[in-house]
Every structure is written in C-alpha cells, then in structure tokens.
Amino acid sequence: MSYDLLVIGGGSGGIAAARRAAKHGARVALVESGRLGGTCVNVGCVPKKIMWHASQIAESLQEAAAYGFGRADAVTHDWHTLRSNRDAYVEWLNGIYRRNLLASGAELIEGHAQFAGPREVVAGERTLSAKHILIATGGRPFHPKCEGADLGIDSDGFFALDRRPESVIVAGSGYIAVELAGMLRALGAKVTLIARGKRLLRTFDAMLSTHLEGEMRAQDIELVLDEPIDSLRRDGAHVTAKLASGSTRTADALIWAVGRTPNIESLALDRAGVATDELGAIRVDAFQNTSAANVYAVGDVTGRMMLTPVAIAAARRLADRLFGGQPERKLDYEMIPTVVFSHPTIGTVGLTEAQAREKFGDAVKVYESRFKALYYGIQHRKVGSAMKLVCVGADERIVGLHTIGMGSDEMLQGFAVALRMGATKRDFDDTVAIHPTSAEEMVTMN
C-alpha cells in the first residue's frame, strides 16, 4: 500500500502532522502500537497537570483557615479516587484523538513499525510505502546504570502508583523531578530530592533555580545537591539509596527523573539511512529533514525542545511545507515559552541572563522584582514571587523573561507573544498595569 505521508507514532506530533497533511488533501496513514496521544496524554502533561491540580487543592485547604474557613485536618484524601478519575479522563482523550484522526481522513494502522528500506515500512504483516515518512515515536524515561537501579520507578511508574507513598526519594534536577517532588509533598508525602548537579533546573535562569530551591526547602523538602546516587538496595518494604559520599537515604519509593531517551531501537533506522547523534536522538535540520531523503522527524525523538507544543508546531509546519504549498514553512525554535508546574510555578521564555551576557556582553541590562502575591498577605506562610526581564541594546529590547510564583504558568503566554513581536522595556512601561495582580509587576519594574 502506498501513501503520500506515512507517520510512525501516534503522539501529539504524529497526529498533528497526519491531520494537517490530510487536510491538505494528502493520502495519509499513521502507525501506532499503543494508546493514541503519546507521552503527553497518557503519562505526561495531562495526567501530570491533574495531579498538580490535586496538590494545589491540598495547599489551598491548608491556607483556607486564614480566610475564615474550617480546619483542613478534617478533610481526607482518597488517592484511588484521584487516580480513577484521572485515568478515566485520559481514556476519554484517547478516544477523542482516535475520532479526530479518523475524521480527518487519515488511516490508523495499529501495530509496530519498522523500516524495510529507504521509504518502505513493515507494520505487522503489511508492507507500506510512501513518498514521505515522518518519525514521531517520542521518548521514554531514562534509567541510570547503577547497582540496583531497577528498584526505582520512573515517571511512568508514578502514574501507576495505587497509593501515595508515605516517603519518596526523587532522583533528578530537571522539571520532571521538581514537579513530582512538589506534588507529592503537597499531597502529604515526606520527600527527598537528590541531584548529581549543584543546582536545580540548570538550563534555566539562575534566579529561578535559587528561588525554587528556597521555596522547596520551606516546604520541608530535603534537597541533596551535588550528590550522585551510587546504588540502591531493598530494605524490607523500603528502598535505600547510597550516595557517592557514603551517606544513605531510605524511603517507600524512589522515582528516577534523570532524563529521557528517544524511542528508536525497534525502527531499524539503518535500513533507511537515518543518522542519530551520540545520545540516540535522530539528527534533523531546520526543516525537520533527517539524513535520509524524504524522511523526517519531529518531537522528543529528535532531542530538541522536548515539549508537546513544540512537536505539534513542528509537525504542522512540516505538513504545510510538504503538502500545503509553503516551501519555506518551518518552526522557529527561538523564543519558545515553557512552564514548570513546580510549587510555585515557573514561566520562562527567551534567553537567560547568562546566555544574554555571553551573546551581547555589556549591552545587556536586567530588571528584577521580588514580592509576595496578595493572596499570601494574610497567610502565615508567605510564598515569594520573583520576576526578571533581560534587555539588550539602547532600545532595551526584551530577549528574556523569567517568572516564578503564583500565576506564572497562566501569565506567561501573553508575554511570550509580546517578546516574539520584539517588545521593548518602554513598551512594557507604557502598558497600564492591572491591579492588584502579580502580572502588574512585569510592567512596573524599574
């Protein structure tokens, strides 16, 4: 069977490409062996955000007394109900993705796909050929190779937990690690976060890392930084992590959150001439082309900006280029906003201060604001917020915007639009503030 476009992988990127190409009139097939929606829908963004909402409610219950509400200790939490409702919603989304894909005119082929040649794929007992092939198989959690590593679970295992552990060790320093640590602590677990690096979120602006570390410690999360885990061992119903220094930590569960690796092993990429980098990610150029003619890749399998909206945006632009008469259409990977659902939340877009100074030197000027959101005005525990604008040149064009604190997740999107349009500090200054909000601090810094 021959197609205009054959998509391998039914995650967000693959489905976005298939639907957009079909809309342009292409004959499209998509091959997927698991649940539609990929990591984001099944074991990523969506169930994670539901768990974050639960943890946010838990925090609000603790803070309600200052606003005159009853005692939070009278409220119980049923993990099983949360998991059941979350999983039912994910299953509903699986159905939505299937219906939308089929409604677009694309064909769904259920099974594993493997290259048989440059533009030929075997899926089950079928051999498929296409003018264009897109690889969008995503990634999976990475497990280190230390002794006893299999005693730990990963983010996929977190979503499979049938109860909340009383104590948890989270290993990692990236956004998945800090999100899981914050959620579990807010829901009542004793949490220790162990990282081999000297700071959290090392690729983010240093202000965000420092502020988050302080807030996590204020939440009684133990942070053990610059301490690699040497081995794990089973202690009855518990797991003990031995650190490189010789010290140990014991908990009900350990969650590995130390990175992700591309799903490429079963694809037989060599038969198609598709090259990968030293980390196993598929090499692509600015137009998502791989080293093989008419074979493309988008999303986590490329190792670039592993975010669902990025995969979707790159996939749609690729379909527009191949079938929509837009030969120069491609994704601009600059100024991509992202949010970390930590406690408190983080929003960031553009260059960090360090990146800007490396690129522009003395032309960089930075504005910062630190404050407590009004919500915490009558609270005993006051969670701080911090914001930073990184500006360049005489016109003070804003090349980086970083915020941590209540509302940072929702306020970032609009500011990201402004930065993409080339907003300057004067543009922000000339915008009337909305009071009283946290967002007004962004346009009143001096």
Based on the residue annotation, tell me whether 435 is a catalytic residue of this protein.
Answer: yes
Asked if the domains at 2-141+261-323 and 149-258 fall in one CATH topology, the answer is: yes
* The model's pTM: 0.96
Superfamily of domain 149-258: FAD/NAD(P)-binding domain (3.50.50.60)
Strands (E), 236-315: 238-243, 248-251, 253-256, 260-262, 295-297
Class for domain 344-443, per CATH?
A: alpha beta
pLDDT of residue 265: 95
Q: How far apart are alpha carbons 391 and 360 in whole angstroms? A: 10
Provide the Cα torsion 174, 176, 180, 186; round to 10°.
70
The DSSP result for 141-169, as a single string, is E----SBTGGGSB-HHHHHH-SS--SEEE
Provide the Cα torsion 276, 282, 287, 293; round to 10°.
60
Q: How far apart are alpha carbons 398 and 420 in whole angstroms? A: 9
Domain boundaries, the chain: 2-141+261-323, 149-258, 344-443
Q: Specify the DSSP element, H or E, that contains 2.
A: strand 2-8
pLDDT of residue 378: 97
The catalytically annotated residue of 53, 77, 380, 435 is 435
pLDDT of residue 73: 77
Q: How far apart are alpha carbons 441 and 434 in whole angstroms? A: 9
pLDDT of residue 75: 87
Q: How far apart are alpha carbons 82 and 291 in whole angstroms? A: 45
Please calculate the CA angle 276-42-170 and round it to the nearest 5 degrees.
Answer: 80
pLDDT along the chain (446 residues), means of 10: 95 98 98 97 98 97 94 87 98 98 98 95 95 98 95 98 98 98 98 97 98 98 97 96 97 97 97 96 98 98 96 98 98 97 98 98 98 97 97 98 98 98 98 98 97
- Residue 182, phi-psi category: left (phi > 0), alpha (psi -120 to 50), beta (remainder): alpha
- Residue 68, phi-psi category: left (phi > 0), alpha (psi -120 to 50), beta (remainder): left
Which residues contact residue 84 at a Cβ distance below 8 angstroms, ignoring those fewer than 6 apart? Answer: none
pLDDT of residue 74: 76
Indicate the fold that domain 2-141+261-323 takes in CATH.
Answer: FAD/NAD(P)-binding domain (3.50.50)
